[in-house]
Structures are given as structure tokens and as C-alpha cells.
Structure 1
Amino acid sequence: MTRIKVLIVDDSAVVRQVLTANLSQDPGIEVIGAASDPVFAMAKMAAQWPDVIVLDVEMPRMDGITFLKKLMAERPTPVVICSTLTEKGAETTMQALAAGAVSIVTKPKVGLKQFLQDDSESLVNAVKAAARANLRRLGVSAVAVPVQAKLTADAILPAGSHAMAETTDRVVAIGTSTGGTQALEVVLTALPRVCPGIVIVQHMPEKFTGAFADRLNNLCQIEVREAVNGDRVLPGLALIAQGGRHMLLKRSGAHYRVEIVDGPPVSRHRPSVDVLFRSVAKCAGKNALGIIMTGMGDDGAKGLKEMHDMGARTVGQDEDSCVVYGMPKEAAKLGSVDRELPLGRIAYEIVAYGGGR
């Protein structure tokens, strides 16, 4: 088995030590070095190039954003951002994701060592997801990663046997993970002000989804915001699920609203795409368009099948345009997907759906 070569870049000696120990416990990962800042990192990379870089964003001599932009311009390599779980850290991390980082792991300001030890699984999964990134887009070797056992959407809500009656409102439900922040930007910025209401699950830690929504809202013609319990799904509005909580679609008379709930991770994620899609299947049925985009694993595949079986139109992002062709691939294997489309065509599909085509 080819092991994933990882370089850790963080100015904290404690973080470097704990991350190295945690990642080294996985037989599929080899930590080839650790550096206190990007200048030292570049010297190490000259001797041996990593498959994945775990990168802090606030460091001396050269900050992580500057290093990331330089890296992506010269030799694109998957980067996992290790960011402080604060509002300021969230804003900086949005810049990193826009510059080409693959995903995020978080670290608190206090209790750091214990937190990193307790949350080591999410770091390992993030590194493995990054290693699976599209070769043509990110220029690294793919590594096979097994899917672990996980809870299904049954942990949050039961499956439905039929959908509620049709209404005049139409809903678009989107699920995505690794590479999704960039993909969602492509889709949402291409939408006109008049389009169906959209509900979105993007796998992202708590406190980061608000900054992500704010960033998209500043770029898009439509309104984009982090969902609040009871928000109505309206045309020209995209609601992004809060990090750390599940989002469900609920019927309110002839209209739709979102419900934000606690609960265990489903398909190893909270929020979970499967949970959102199941709720859309039950509440909207033929009134919905389901879209599954780039991401590692299979979260959303079963939920999209339930939408499909309830009469919803379903779309999967095609392999060539995915950063990681995992979630769409698993959905296609289940027969969940009516059509596979390149990323650049998904916004057109949403507009066409809103127009009744």
C-alpha cells in the first residue's frame, strides 16, 4: 500500500508534535517532516515533496495564505488548513479555501493538546480526502481510502413511504464536501437573482459556515446566508447548514422552512447531506431538484436515491470537474442520479428547473 506523505507546517511546537503523533498512528500515512514556518517548509520540500500539506495560516516570516498562493501557482499540492476556531480564524480560512486549500481542521486556543488528541480521526480523514483529490486539478497521486462504518439518516429521522402533495414552490437541495467551497462559488455566483430557493449542506466545522456564507453573499447576485431555525426557503435565497448541526426541510402549509437540529454525526458528518436529502424527499418530492457534488465518501448517495424515488429530479457532478469524485460516484452507483453534469453546467440546470424546463 502506498502511504500518504504528509508535511506539517505550524509555528507551535506542541501542535507539530501532536499532529505528527496522531497522523503517524495511521498505517496509511507517513509524516515526512514538520516545519515552524513556510520558509523552513520550502527547504524540506526541496528534498522530498509531500502528497499533502497540513498548514497553519498565522505564522512568522511568511503567513499561510501567501505560502498557499505561491504553492498553487508553482506546484499545486493538496493542502489541509489547520485553523484556530475563532471568528478571525474563520475569515482567514475562507481566504485559504478560495486560494485552493482542500479542507479545514480546527484547533481551539485553549486545551489544544487534548483537543487534537481527541479529534484525531477528523484530521486523518481530512488528510486522506486531500490525498484523493483530482490529479488534473491538484497534481497529486490518488490513494485508495477505505470507508468506515457509520450511522445512517435513520439516526435523525425515519424514511418516508411517500412525499407530501405538490405545491407551487420549488426547492433545490445541494450536498457537497471536499472541494465544495470552490464548487459552490462557481455555481452560486452564476445564478441570477430569480431562481428557486436553495438549501445546502457543505461539510465544514462550526463557526466557519457563517463566514463562508457571508463571503458568498458578497460575491453572488442571490442572497446567501447561514440557516437559522425556522428560516423560510424563498426564491433567490440560498441557506447553508450550520456547521456542527443537521438541517432538515420542513413543510409549513404550502411553503417550506428549515429546521436546525442536534444529533449524532450521520455518514460521519454533522451536518449530513443524507439527512437533508431525506427530509427533502419526504417534504418536497417532485417539487425538488437534488444535486450532489464533489466530496470524499458517500454522504448524500442514499438520500439522493430517496429523492429520486419520490420523483425529484437529480443531478451528479461529473468526474472530470470534481476535486474528489467520491459522493457523486457513490450516488451514481446506487442509481440515484438522473444526469451527470460538469460543474459549469449546474447553475444552468438550476435556472432551467426554476423555469419549469
Structure 2
Amino acid sequence: MDNSADDIRKRIRAAAAQQEHHDIPPSMNADVVLPSNPRAVPPNSERLIVVGASTGGTEALKIFLTPMPGVIPPILIAQHMPEMFTKSFAARLDSLCRIRVKEAEDGEPVLPGCAYIAPGHSHLLLTLQANRYICELSQAPAVNRHRPSVDVLFRSAANAAGRNAIGVILTGMGKDGAQGMLEMKRAGCYNFAQDEASCVVFGMPREAIALGAVDEVCHLGEMAHRVLAHIASPRRS
């Protein structure tokens, strides 16, 4: 990394640390969007990957998604980003990846070989209709001051998919996604977190690790490989 990039990274981390220690009013949790109702028995054997990211996440998602083969379980992504950017961000990733990457639409089926990015104006939820996984968008209030919220996506995965889901939490400021990842783990999911060395801001992964919600901590450059290895391994009982 050159000196200018290193300086930018240090400035972002300093700003994140200042915000995390600043007194701010409490925010709402995922209960304002959907109740926690983890699925004990998955409705089918279809695997899914759900990903949450914030500060530094646009580059982290590129690094995570570009090694993915064309045949891969569906991927649902909540990236904290203003709504005017999510569609073009998805299109850029789509041009770089072997999988299809698109902005999620309300009511569309979740298909293998595709990644769905939450639009910046809505929460993205995984729902189940007639034993098929579906994207649902919600304009319910912000959770952890974010819409889309990672906690909402992760809770919906615990509710709809149970142990079929695989969780990934990447670089980001704050704690969004930590509680949802814990709910996923309690539902039988296997979860990954990006390590501190490769994060721009370690806040979100750190909070998930502290809650005991994470099974593996990986360098970003190894994350895709580790997720693919887990998918190829025998299912846990």
C-alpha cells in the first residue's frame, strides 16, 4: 500500500474511533422491522450467503465477489450506501464478476449464481414463499441508524433459512450486524468475519466476534476461498 492510501486508511479509522466514542442517542433494533423467529428446520436444502458491510465495504465486496465461480449459492448483501449509488455499484460489480450482481427488487426470486444488493432506500429481507426464497424490500424505520441494515438482513436469514444460511460480516463502523449474526448462529448458521488487519474499520466484525457470533475470522483475501470451502464441506448435523 502506498503512503497516500495508508494515510487515507488512518484518517478513516481515526474518524470511526471518534464517532464510536461520541455520545449519540440510542437507535432502534431489528424488532421495528420483523420479529425474531429462527427456523429450527430449514424448508429445503438450498444454501444461501448473506453479507453485511459498511465503511470500506465497496472495495471489500469487490475482493470477496470477484473470485466466486458462476455456480454458487445466492448471495444477499446489505452495504451501507446512499440510494443514488447502489444501482451503479451493483452494475460495476456485475461487470467484474462471473456471477450476476444486481440491485435487489421486491418480490424477485433468489437464484443461484446471483448476488442481490440492497437498494440504499430499503431494508433487504430474505423471505420464504411456497418453499422458495424471495427478496423483500421494506421501508420500515432505520435500524442501528441504517437502512438497509445488516441486522435486518441477518435476522431474516435466521428466520427463513435457518442453518442453510452462511453469514459474512465485513469491514464497517459501529455494531450493525452483530446481533443479527448471533441470531443466525443460534439458528445453526456458520458465520465468517473479516479480520482486523484487512479491515478499513474493524467495528462491525469486532462486535460480532465479541458476542460469540463468529465461527471463523479470515483475512479479506482468503474470505471467498474459506466460504467456498465451507460450502463444499459436509453439512453439520
TM-score (structure 1 length as normaliser): 0.61
Percent of aligned pairs with the same amino acid = 47
2:83 aligns to what SS in structure 1?
coil
Tell me whether 1:173 sits opposite 2:50 in the alignment. yes
Work out whether 1:78 is the aligned partner of 2:29: no
Task: For residue 279 of structure 1, report the CA deviation from its aligned partner.
Answer: 0.3
SS in 2 for 1:284: helix
Q: Does 1:155 align with 2:32?
A: yes
Query: Counterpart of 1:277?
Result: 154
What secondary structure is seen at the aligned counterpart in 2 of 1:208? Answer: helix
The separation in 1 between residues aligned to 2:19 and 2:143, in whole angstroms, is 22
Partner of 2:21: 146
Alpha-carbon distance in structure 2 between the residues aligned to 1:169 and 1:216: 24
**Does residue 216 of structure 2 align to residue 333 of structure 1?**
no
- Name the CA distance, whole Å, in 1 between partners of 2:151 and 2:19: 23
Between structure 1 and structure 2, the one with the greater Rg is 1
Structure 1 residues 197 and 327, CA gap change in structure 2 (3 angstroms): same
Deviation at 1:168? 1.9
1:243: Cα distance to partner? 0.2
- Indicate how the Cα distance of structure 1 residues 73 and 246 shifts in structure 2: closer, same or farther if over 3 A, else same: same
- 1:353 and 2:230 aligned: yes
Distance 1:254 1:284, change over 3 A: same
Residue number in structure 1 paired with 2:14: 131
Gaps of 5+ in 2: none
Structure 1: where are the runs of 5+ without partners? 1-71, 80-101, 103-126, 134-141
Amino acid of the residue matched to residue 218 of structure 2? L
* Cα distance per residue 1:115-153 (max 9 Å; x no partner): xxxxxxxxxxxx9x55356xxxxxxxx647326311100
Q: Deviations over 1:10-54 (max 9, x none)?
A: xxxxxxxxxxxxxxxxxxxxxxxxxxxxxxxxxxxxxxxxxxxxx
Cα distance in 1 for partners of 2:129, 2:27 equals 31
Query: How far did residue 226 of structure 1 move?
Result: 0.3
Matches within 5 A, 1:198-237: 198-237=75-114
**1:256-299, Cα deviation, whole Å (9 max, x unpaired):** 11101111110010000000000000000110100111000000
- Aligned-pair CA distance for 1:307: 0.2
State the one-letter code of the partner of 2:70. Answer: R
RMSD: 2.0
Partners of 1:178 and 1:294 within 8 A in 2 = yes
After TM superposition, give the deviation of residue 220 of structure 1 in Å: 0.4
Partner Cα distance (1:212, 1:161) in 2 = 31
TM-fit CA distance, 1:181: 0.3
Alpha-carbon distance in 2 for matches of 1:225, 1:236: 11
Verify the 8 A CA contact 1:266 1:274 in the aligned structure 2.
yes
Counterpart for residue 300 of structure 1: 177
Within the alignment, does 1:262 sit opposite 2:139 as a pair?
yes
C-alpha distance in structure 2 between counterparts of 1:211 and 1:230, whole Å: 21
SS of 1:285's equivalent in the other structure is helix
Taking a change above 3 Å as real, the CA distance of residues 308 and 74 of structure 1, as seen in their structure-2 partners, is closer
Question: Would the aligned equivalents of 2:38 and 2:162 in 1 still touch at CA under 8 Å?
Answer: no
Aligned residues: 231
- 1:317-338 deviation per Cα after TM superposition (whole angstroms, max 9, x unaligned): 1111111000000001111101
